[in-house]
Amino acid sequence: MTPIAATQRTPVLSSFKHTLGLSLLAFGIAQANLALAAVTPATGNAVEARVSSILDNMNQSEKINFTRVNDGHMIPSLLKWGIKGTVAYDSSMGVHVNNATFGAQYPSQSALAATWSINRAKEFGLAIAYETRISGGQQMLSPGVNLYRTPYNGRSAEYVSGEDPFLGAVLAPAIVNGIQAQGIQASGKHYLANEQEANRQALNVVVDERTLRELYLPGFESMVKNANVASIMCGFNKINGDYACENHHLITDVLKGEWGFQGIVISDFNAIHNAFKGAWAGTDIDMPSGLQFTEANLLPYVWSGQLTQNVIDDKVKRNLRGIVSYDFQENLNTAKPLEHPEYGQRASLNAAREAIVLLRNENTSAGKPLLPLARTAKVAVIGNWAHDAPASPFGTANSPPNSYVTELSGLQQLASSSTKVTYLSDLSLNPQSSAWYQPAVGKNAVSNSGVKAEYFSNTSFSGDPTLTRVEPGVNLNWTTGTNVTNAGTTAVSGFSPNAGAFSARFSSVIKPTITGPQVFKVRADGPYKLWVNDELVLQSDGVPYSSDVVNALTTSGKTASLKAGKSYTVKLEYQRVQGNFIPALGGVTGVQMSWASLRPPADLADYDAVVVAVGTTYENEGEGSDHGYELPDQQAELIKQVAKANPNTIVVMHGGGVANMQPWAKKVGATLQAWFPGQQGGQALAEILYGKVNPSGKLPVTIDKQIEDNPSYASYPDPAAYRGDNALTEMTYSEGLYLGYRGYDKKHAKPLYPFGYGLSYTSFGYSDLKLSSNVMAPGSTVDVTFTLTNTGDKAGFEVAQLYVQPVKPAVDRPEKELKGFTKVYLKPGESKTVSMPIDSRSLAYYVDKTASWDVDAGKFKILVGADSENLALNRTLTTLFPEHLTTRDSNPLPLPLRKAVQVNASQTY
């Protein structure tokens, strides 16, 4: 039968069906509207009847075009049925609207992971979904549950799992339930094995099935089974040879088949490469350009029988279900002014308060811990991170805050007097404030400020410059056409910085204020070289780190020791050879130059404490590329020098993941990991440093002493190998199950700071561990109870953790795995009985040949304590019979935890 015949064969019947269908539909709408609007997502017969009613009346063209979008929608419009479509907003750390942040800038999802708090996860989901709804969006593109396999990952900030699947399996559904209870669809991403950004468009991840099942899938599985997540986004990379959006095994077999996922699989940004493969694999929406799921591409496969009608219809049903179950057909929200910014502000602050991890707090010479500080303490603050608006990564997670509290401001506001807190700007790399001088002319050396700029209309500095003039500094932005500095502002005029036809030479003089090496930093969208005193200090070849979203290139270098007050020449040569650098999402087109001292001022020892805020920002970290393990901008050396001058040095680390701390870890008085702490991060940090808030964050990752110790290092030693013309295209997860602390346990090695670690201003005692049964019967849940006591003198939260350790396992298994945690607030001297459940899945491992989660008969140690290396309590649990759990029926969370991550209607707003 030809396709034309098929569409023409029963016009009368078709017309009748259509009329009947529309009539039923109208009836269905009238019947179901109230019920559907009451709780989202609505499920059940009313939804399915309405979906089928529409589907039955769609022709093939309408169906296929309902699986692709190219007009800004996520779920396409279907106006014949009054469906206007949906819009999804990027919303990892804030809702990205009008190329700005609509509501609050939240802490990164890696920071949320560090809270280990179901309450904070729900609060974040509720607040950001409220903002999404008010902004007129129907869907958020988060949360992310990929694992922290490597510290290099440019998108570590966007993932809430840390390095452990159980942590993500608890927090992600709590976020999703918060989002979806507000009537907004969540999207779990990036499915699957998207643990690196480097060469993400071409990367093939080779990983065995058991590792996928035990480590990389449970976060997604939990969002499906415990939150009915509306959509899952398939990523850019390949997994075992098939692109993520063309991976039939992962999408159709596992996600939709075994787990019973009823939602929509949406492609990452044009991540489908082959229409048939993408369609057959189970991807439901080809977005945002709809290049593959066209009638021209898909119909031949339908006609030939390679794609059955069911495959097309299934996509349409899922996309319709996305509309009907959220009542978007009749009640589509549109943008309004944000009436309650305080919801997001509060959620952002609360998360930051609980996310910051205190890693080190040594005694001062007075014999007491350095932290908390007295509010009368005289404090010096160093570093742009403390001074500037709280940063976010480069890329779609970029979320510049509308209002914020910087760390410097937070400290100044909370100190007994703002004059107690002093910012040392001479140690700050800021292109706006760096001081530049022209070569001395007679006696006018000091006042003769600025940078001589020579602008050429070619990329090779050839011929006479188009324009020569003195600029107040080098902070040139080609998109805004400005050069804004504290010494003055100029416009980009009199020359044309056209990509492929522009170069510039900047010459100046610096006069260091502190003797010693100086650090220089250049950020630009092209190649550059910088000389100080005629010595090459830094350079970049200008080759982008990414092939899609391209960030400007930031490089730093240090000079030889320079003497304070003396003059030293500076020359920067910059070429604009290509125009593919992105001027938005934290990127910049232009050139920036700054310098600062790498030695502290002589009076630094006079301060009671020194706060050094360091780490990565959108300049160094984000989507599309991976980064190194070292702190940027020579910050490690700065910390060492500051600590040498003042032992009461407090280092505040920032970034989506962690960076190398080993060079100075034992030399400073205190260390905190603050992640991307969000718009209220400065308040939260100040509250912790002054003791108003007792720190309770714990590490969701292991911090390596050196990157070579990281279990992923053997297969991923260098992100640079995945860049450029000969970029590698394969990554084997050779560590298998032994990621993070699992790998350290296997090697019996010690990291710098273990998974789950974090200090408090008080102390906690663990005692009296009991199991509700010493035998785990099939289908049962065992309560693990113990007494947790605040043995110190300050109130605070403790994150108690439960690990399962198989005793003499029949197969190769990690020594222990996280299978429970909870967060409890205790006043000084207070004790609480804490309960955490475990079930058969908590004890199981995946067996590929039977596609089951198996529990062997045997013994398991149940370990409870404060972190993965400090597990004070243990009991033995026995299983008498082997058990096989199906992938369909088993759940990453025991039943009580499934209930704990739910959000009820009374919590919505």
Q: How far is the CB of 119 from other proteins (least distance, A)?
A: 6
Q: How far is the CB of 688 from other proteins (least distance, A)?
A: 11
Q: Which is nearer to other proteins, 623 or 883 (CB)?
A: 623
Q: Which is nearer to other proteins, 454 or 525 (CB)?
A: 525
The DSSP secondary-structure symbol of 619 reads: T
CA torsion sign for 323, 324, 325, 326 is positive
Hey, what amino acid is at 380?
A
Q: Which is nearer to other proteins, 502 or 753 (CB)?
A: 502
Tokens representing 193 are 């094995």
Q: Which is nearer to other proteins, 472 or 894 (CB)?
A: 894
Q: How far is the CB of 790 from other proteins (least distance, A)?
A: 12
Alpha carbons 520 and 467: distance in angstroms, whole number = 25
The reply to whether omega before 250 is within 30° of 0 (cis) is no
CB 647 within 8 A of CB 613: no
Q: Which is nearer to other proteins, 520 or 581 (CB)?
A: 581
Alpha carbons 297 and 310: distance in angstroms, whole number = 17
Q: How far is the CB of 719 from other proteins (least distance, A)?
A: 19
Cβ neighbors of 358 (< 8 A, separation 6 or more) are: 371, 670, 671, 672, 688, 695, 697, 758, 759, 760
Beta strand 883-886 pairing with 852-855: antiparallel
Q: How far is the CB of 771 from other proteins (least distance, A)?
A: 13
Q: How far is the CB of 836 from other proteins (least distance, A)?
A: 5
Q: How far is the CB of 137 from other proteins (least distance, A)?
A: 6
Alpha carbons 20 and 894: distance in angstroms, whole number = 46
- Please write down the HEC assignment for all residues of 472-512: CCCEEECCCCEEEECCEEEECCCCCCCCCCEEEEEEEEECC
Q: How far is the CB of 768 from other proteins (least distance, A)?
A: 15
Q: Which is nearer to other proteins, 289 or 887 (CB)?
A: 289
Does an H or E element contain 22, and which?
helix 11-38
Alpha carbons 456 and 502: distance in angstroms, whole number = 6
Neighbours of 355 (CB within 10 A): 31
Q: How far is the CB of 901 from other proteins (least distance, A)?
A: 8
Q: Which is nearer to other proteins, 100 or 445 (CB)?
A: 100
Q: Output Rg (C-alpha) for the chain, integer angstroms.
A: 29
Q: Which is nearer to other proteins, 237 or 589 (CB)?
A: 589
**Among candidate residues 377, 425, 430, 356, the one with its CA nearest the CA of residue 646:** 377
| Residue 281: C-alpha distances to residues 230, 247, 319 (Å) | 18, 5, 16
Does an H or E element contain 597, and which?
strand 590-597
Q: Which is nearer to other proteins, 739 or 897 (CB)?
A: 897
Place of tokens 């070619």: 458
Q: How far is the CB of 178 from other proteins (least distance, A)?
A: 13
Q: Which is nearer to other proteins, 322 or 512 (CB)?
A: 322
Alpha carbons 670 and 675: distance in angstroms, whole number = 16
Query: HSE-up of 541 (CA within 13 Å, CB side)?
Result: 6
Alpha carbons 819 and 239: distance in angstroms, whole number = 27
Neighbours of 675 (CB within 10 A): 31
Q: Which is nearer to other proteins, 335 or 564 (CB)?
A: 335
Place of tokens 């980064």: 627
Tokens representing 136 are 């007129």
Q: How far is the CB of 757 from other proteins (least distance, A)?
A: 19
Q: How far is the CB of 49 from other proteins (least distance, A)?
A: 28
Tokens representing 27 are 């009836």
Place of tokens 């056209």: 498
Does an H or E element contain 611, and which?
strand 609-615
Q: Which is nearer to other proteins, 623 or 856 (CB)?
A: 623
Q: Which is nearer to other proteins, 150 or 319 (CB)?
A: 319
Q: How far is the CB of 400 from other proteins (least distance, A)?
A: 8
Q: Which is nearer to other proteins, 812 or 830 (CB)?
A: 830
Does an H or E element contain 900, and which?
helix 895-900
Q: Which is nearer to other proteins, 645 or 897 (CB)?
A: 897
* DSSP string computed for 274-293: -HHHHHHHT--BB-SS--SS
Q: How far is the CB of 791 from other proteins (least distance, A)?
A: 18
Q: How far is the CB of 122 from other proteins (least distance, A)?
A: 9
CB 237 within 8 A of CB 243: yes
